[in-house]
Amino acid sequence: MKLNLKVWRQKGASTGGKFETYTVEANEHMSFLEMLDVLNEQLIAEQREPVSFEHDCREGICGTCSMVINGHPHGPMKGTTTCQLHMRHFNDGETITIEPFRSNSFPVIKDLVVDRAAFDRIIQSGGYISVNTGQAQDGNAIPIEKDLASEAFDAATCIGCGACVAACPNASAMLFTSAKVSHLNMMPQGEVEATQRVLNMINQMDSEGFGACSNITACEAECPKEISVKNIARVNREYFAAVLASEKNPSK
Amino acid sequence: MKLDGKVPTGELSEKWTQYRGTMNLVAPNNKRRLEVIVVGSGLAGASAAATLGELGYKVKCFTFHDSPRRAHSIAAQGGINAAKNYQNDGDSVYRLFYDTIKGGDYRSREANVHRLAEASRTIIDQAVAQGVPFAREYGGLLANRSFGGVQVSRTFYARGQTGQQLLIGAYQSLSRQISMGNVTMYNRHEMLDVVKIDGKARGIITRNLVTGAIDRHSAHAVVLGTGGYGNVFYLSTNAMNSNVTAAWRATKRGALMANPCFTQIHPTCIPVSGEYQSKLTLMSESLRNDGRVWVPGKKDDVKAIREGRLKATDIAEEDRDYYLERRYPAFGNLVPRDVASRAAKVACDEGHGVNATGLAVYLDFASAIMRYGKSEAHSKGMVNPSEDEIKLLGEKVVEAKYGNLFEMYAKITGEDPYKSPMMIYPAVHYTMGGLWVDYNLETNIPGLFAVGEANFSDHGANRLGASALMQGLADGYFVIPYTIGQFLSNEIRTPIIDDQQPEFEAAEKAVKDRLAQFINIKGKQSVESFHRRLGKIMWEYCGMSRNEEGLNKARKMIQELRAEFYSDVFVPGELNEYNPELEKAGRVADFLELGELMVVDALDRQESCGGHFREEYRTPEGEAMRNDKDFTYVSAWEWTDTTADPTLHKEELEFENVELKTRSYK
Amino acid sequence: MNWFVRFLTSSIGKKLIMSLTGLFLCLFLVVHLAGNLQLLLDDGGEAFNIYAYIMTHNPLIKAVSYGTYFFIILHAIQGIILAIQNRKARKSKYSVTVTRTTGTNSFAARQMALLGSLILVFIGIHMGDFWWKMKSGQTSMEKYDSFQFEVQNLYEKVDATFANEWIVLFYVISMIGLSFHLLHGFQSAFQTLGLNHSKYTPFIKGLGKGFAIIVPALFALIPIYYMFIK
């Protein structure tokens, strides 16, 4: 199959970018990234600079891919990362537009590569349980209801790719933040720090310059792990409780 | 060089406890003055960095990823073993130890493996305390499942994403230490050299992958948790960026590479579908609990299937060869990975492979679906259910157990595994070999440590399923934080290491020269094309089965390919910018050397054991034939000058507690 | 900064203001609609004019109405601030935009600010049409036997205003805008408050849809009735 690719090229964070168009010969069994590999091999053969895009595990779990394909972060297939997206879902002769995840909080490093360090900083602000190695009691000491563990797991499947931010018209990071707060606050082990956690993580999220959530739910619709916006509701709830009912204050 | 494993004396089960109780400690006020570099942020690296930070050391942690959470540990699916005996099925530390030694075909160090089995239990406790959402029973207690090569249920899991959940746990602990200022994190920094001063590892040279800046980082000790080298085969289940560079740079500085030829070929991966393919995807070993492996017995059927005239479901039951059940009746489809992989290769080599390339076998769930369907129909009280009803019920059960894996298979292949059997073929998955380390996980370079898959220590010649996560975390949480004290307790008078010393300068220059060399070759061929060609050589001659003639041929081919690389590779872009091709060039250059060493090691080891199968050494039935008399040793290779032959150092393995037996799964 | 100010200026706090003021305004819509539906009675405006008198003279209702003005302004200003801030969070725009959402109307969810602005303009014009004319005494007076005081004849003004087809068209378009605004806003307010539950949320969403269609439709019915039917 022959494809026309409109690819965003940008030299660095401080420079502007523009689209360039390429033609590539692919086959329907290729993954989307393998199709880009073919494009890059082609560019290298012509001694031109290949398109920079980030990728690693290519099995949908590392969360490294960061491109928007025809307007969809990770492409048009629901619940699928770019690396798991296959070319059989595209048509011969189709023009595909490929852009980086766009958000002020995810500055472009080069072409389709963006910097998502803001997510790390949100985790550092409280996305953990304060337990040192060796302090743990027996794993079975606290029984956890199966459904609760399963719900926490659903939130914990977040791969930290940033598609939620990329998809959100407001570039809000609420789905990411709420998934982590939910995962930890739901577990009995995480309950101890629940109040401080939600205050700190929301505060950090706000200071990173993400937009505010207005419940558009594009995040859930585009999330490759289909994480639910119920987590956002939960975090709102916990944030209100933390601010209004506890003695703690809404920032460090 | 005499290799001293530094295994403590005493009873096997008491060694670690006694050693821990008597080893040298570093006082808290001194810890604050001691710096430790941890390279890699996977399970081993992140857990080590977090724990060392908690202890009070000043830690600098490096990853070439954009975030520590991306390390390839995240992709581990099945689970993590621990000798908890929660299932009351007779499990114990000794049994886990024994299974691991046996599974490794008696090529690992007893004391290390026993320590691993001991640590396994606290890992689960630690992970639960961190909030890892393991699978649970209705009563709220932890659930277990079983894995290949063992007869107890000791595998803890979090759906098919156990590695992800454990890595996120370690990442969160690491993040906490970063926020507390105990760990300084360097994302997007690739280690390109180790700096040795007075024989000790005192720092590293890194490249900032965004700006291209070459930086010096000094510390009192360096810990490498940089993973395995499976990508030397180009096609593997490893992540695209997994590489050997950190470990190989250490080798070039005099560290020994142990058992490099021990690679694990995982039997259940999605087969190669074309030349363009960049990586292979694993289908969890847990599928073999219910899937039956077969190929058509008749060549005519094979031909018809390959030409698309027949479908798998058209083949009559009596014309199918369930070769694992036929050859290994005791373990059947649940034989260890090396055995299952070789059997698939034999079936395909004999011309029974079922896809266009002839390199695939079926993994069939039809009988499991019917079996579960019948039992569901029975429990629902259905009288005389039709075949379709049973099938539907059965598919639901299978979906509940393996739904995410089936979905992944369908996404990649575009075929529905509920309707027709999966096609699978073995693929490179894990490397048991790695940097040689002693009981302290210290390499032969004082102050240089290796943890996780980067070292060779615990899996011998074959790793059992669900043991990689266990080893990575044991090393990082429960071993290195103690054993590094043995080295650092002698360094409390050493001031902060000055990175202006000539050794740093020389190493930095070497790194810069090497990078400039890649850019300046200005040849015609892409880095990727060299990598692909190397992979083909490795897979053909040093893959699932090896022979002397092929290995000799491969060695020559690799040398030629390496020479061609240095004269004709094209690396676009510049030094001082984000340049993935330049990163890749360095990694492939290292693979081109490591590949040769693997071949040399495979040539030296004139026996078949675990993942290493030499065609010359097999029983009349075609099973692996180990040679304990001559090869019960660790091959530790010294190779600083690639123009000369590598030098072999042997560490003899002593088995005081287990008797060496022929592994039989028949 | 005071903790409460910090709370209200956090991203979640801002949304809380939108949610609470929005829900209050939904209540206001119901009351306002109930009164306005009297315009459909065939009584020459008696009931409506008396109702209008009570609404403007009862001190309690007056107090509530000032609250309503305040909430409208707060909702609007906060909404504008949020919209501007949210737009700023992505300076470099996508060349292709798509509209996939789960469980809410995608057009409405993405265009809340636009729809809100339309409604704000509508409120301005609407108040100019009636509220201002009443305040500034541009109406004639009427005395009904059923009511002790002389009342302003607002009904007359309604009748006159809805004779203009452009005004009717504008009112109907505005009500369509309101409908979309509510389609997202109603259920979104509950989500913001943290009320998302597998048992109750489907009901809230259903209620929201009904509310978003029925309330604006009945409002729109009034000008249409005056233009075409009466």
Residue C15 has its nearest CB partner, among A97, A99, A212, at A212
Query: Which residues have a Cβ under 8 Å from the Cβ of B332 and sit 6 or more positions away?
Result: B324, B325
Which of B238-247, B327-336, B649-658 is predicted with the least confidence, judged by mean pLDDT?
Answer: B327-336
Catalytic site includes residue B337: yes
Reference A233, options C196, C101, C16, C11; nearest CA is C196
C-beta separation of C130 from C19 below 8 A:
no
Give the whole-angstrom CA distance, residue B605 versus residue B263.
13
Please report the pLDDT score of residue B436 as a whole number.
98
Give the whole-angstrom CA distance, residue B240 versus residue B243.
8
Task: Give the CATH number for residue C69.
Answer: 1.20.1300.10
Break chain A into its structural domains and give their ranges: 2-110, 117-245
C-beta separation of C223 from C168 below 8 A:
yes
Does residue C138 sit at the A interface (CB-CB below 8 Å)? no
Strand positions, DSSP E, C71-229: 141-143, 150-152
Please report the pLDDT score of residue C47 as a whole number.
95
Residues of A in contact with B163 (CB under 8 A): 61
Interface contact B411-A84, CB threshold 8 A: yes
Per-residue pLDDT at B337 exceeds 70: yes
Summarize pLDDT for B134-180 with one digit per residue, the tens: 999 999 999 998 887 788 899 999 988 999 999 999 999 999 999 99
The answer to whether residue C2 sits within a structural domain is: no
Per-residue pLDDT at B24 exceeds 60: yes
Per-residue pLDDT at A252 exceeds 60: no
The answer to whether residue C1 sits within a structural domain is: no
The answer to whether residue C206 sits within a structural domain is: yes
Residues of A in contact with C86 (CB under 8 A): 169-172, 211-212, 214
Strand positions, DSSP E, B180-236: 183-186, 189-197, 200-208, 214-218, 221-224
**Min Cα–Cα distance to chain A from C219, Å:** 27
Structural domain boundaries, residue C40: 12-85+108-229
Residue A216 has its nearest CB partner, among C87, C101, C193, at C101
Which of A104-118, B113-127, B133-147 is predicted with the least confidence, judged by mean pLDDT?
Answer: B133-147
Q: How many domains does chain C have?
A: 1
Residues in chain A: 252
**Min Cα–Cα distance to chain C from A100, Å:** 9
A44 burial class (0-12, 13-18, 19+ CB within 10 angstroms)? Answer: buried
Summarize pLDDT for B425-464 with one digit per residue, the tens: 999 999 999 999 999 999 999 999 999 999 998 999 999 9
B9 burial class (0-12, 13-18, 19+ CB within 10 angstroms)? Answer: exposed
From residue C50, alpha-carbon distances to B80, C39, C221 in Å are 77, 11, 21
pLDDT > 90 fraction of chain B, expressed in percent and rounded: 89
Q: Which CATH number applies to A117-245? A: 1.10.1060.10
| Predicted confidence band of residue A251 (pLDDT cuts 50, 70, 90) | low
Mean pLDDT of B182-200: 98
Please report the pLDDT score of residue B45 as a whole number.
98
- What stretch of H or E contains B21? helix B12-22
Mean pLDDT of B601-621: 96
Mean pLDDT of B411-426: 93
Q: What average pLDDT is seen over chain B?
A: 95
Interface test with C, best of A102, A181, A216 (most C CBs within 10 A): A216
> What residue ranges define each of the domains in chain B, with the CATH number in brackets?
12-262+432-488 (3.50.50.60), 268-427 (3.90.700.10), 513-631 (1.20.58.100)
The answer to whether residue C50 sits within a structural domain is: yes
Q: How would DSSP label each residue in B285-343?
A: GGGGGT-EEEEESSHHHHHHHHTTSS-GGGS-GGGEE-HHHHH-TTTGGG--HHHHHHH
C-beta separation of B434 from B83 below 8 A:
no
Give the whole-angstrom CA distance, residue C41 versus residue C48.
9
Homologous superfamily of A2-110 in CATH? Answer: Beta-grasp domain (3.10.20.30)
List the subunits that have 3+ CB pairs under 8 angstroms with C: A
**Min Cα–Cα distance to chain B from A212, Å:** 24
Please report the pLDDT score of residue B402 as a whole number.
85
Q: Are chains B and C in contact at 3+ CB pairs closer than 8 Å?
A: no
Please report the pLDDT score of residue B159 as a whole number.
86
Residues of A in contact with B239 (CB under 8 A): 56-58, 62
Mean pLDDT of B372-380: 93
Mean pLDDT of B9-21: 96
Summarize pLDDT for B506-563 with one digit per residue, the tens: 999 999 999 999 999 999 999 999 999 999 999 999 999 999 999 999 999 999 999 9
Query: Looking at this predicted complex, what is its ipTM?
Result: 0.98
Mean pLDDT of B365-371: 94
The answer to whether residue C99 sits within a structural domain is: no
Give the whole-angstrom CA distance, residue B96 versus residue B101.
9
The answer to whether residue C133 sits within a structural domain is: yes
Mean pLDDT of B88-102: 95
Outline where B148-201 has alpha helix (H).
162-179
Does residue C56 sit at the A interface (CB-CB below 8 Å)? no
Give the whole-angstrom CA distance, residue C12 versus residue A6.
37
Catalytic residue among B115, B337, B614, B663: B337
Bridge-partner residues for B425, per DSSP? B269
The answer to whether residue C100 sits within a structural domain is: no
Reference A103, options C93, C100, C110; nearest CA is C93
Please report the pLDDT score of residue B405 as a whole number.
87
Interface contact A129-B131, CB threshold 8 A: yes
User: Which pairing describes strands A72-73 and A67-69: parallel, antiparallel, or unpaired?
Assistant: antiparallel
Interface contact C95-A19, CB threshold 8 A: yes
Residues of A in contact with B84 (CB under 8 A): 139
| Predicted confidence band of residue C99 (pLDDT cuts 50, 70, 90) | confident
Strand positions, DSSP E, B17-57: 35-39
